[in-house]
Amino acid sequence: MADRARAVAAAILEQWHLSAPPVPDALPPVDEPLHVLAAFLPALYATFLLREPPLGAVVWVNRGMSRQKKRFALLHQIGHLLMHPEVVHCLAPASILEDREREALHFASELLMPREWLTHDTESLPLDVDALAARYVVTSGRMAKRLIELRLVEPDDPRLAGPHVAEHARVATIYD
């Protein structure tokens, strides 16, 4: 599951000739027509995917979210389009994390915060979660979660002490 997400993300980064952050606000190519619309969605939801083959797919993105959350949430849905042809809709609350959801989340993390880049940055720069989040254009909470997932920091590391960072590291949510 994680290997496929990593491979798909790596192929996109290679196709875009990227070797350092940030990943641009562009959409990876998908094999079907795709429309992205901004809408006000209930706070519980960041995005909504509806796929109707062969007509294509529509992703609604919650206008009320920050740029960082929108990027991650949209790439989560793109992950479904690239890896899960059987998914016709995705509107899952943050508490529902089945395998396909985890894989789509992993794809978004791998595309926006590739393991190789973060490993290099944590070895060559002082570890500042907010600065890394700004560099990668993700939320500080999402960056903290990724650093922990990659075992680049421990969950109780004092450098993760900011209130928004600590809360995210403690409580798993999808898009923060």
- Report d(CA 37, CA 63) in Å as an integer: 9
The pTM of this model reads 0.84
**Along the 176 residues of the chain, how does pLDDT read in single tens digits?**
679 999 999 999 999 999 999 999 888 888 888 888 888 888 777 888 888 877 888 888 888 888 998 899 889 989 988 898 777 777 655 445 678 888 889 999 999 999 999 999 999 888 889 999 999 999 988 999 999 999 998 888 877 766 656 555 544 444 44
Q: Where are the domains of the chain?
A: 2-170
Whole-angstrom distance, CA of residue 57 vs CA of residue 41:
18
Q: What angle do CA 6, 7, 12 make, to 5 degrees?
A: 100
Residue 86, SS3 per DSSP? coil
> What's phi and psi for 60, nearest 5 deg?
-95, 135
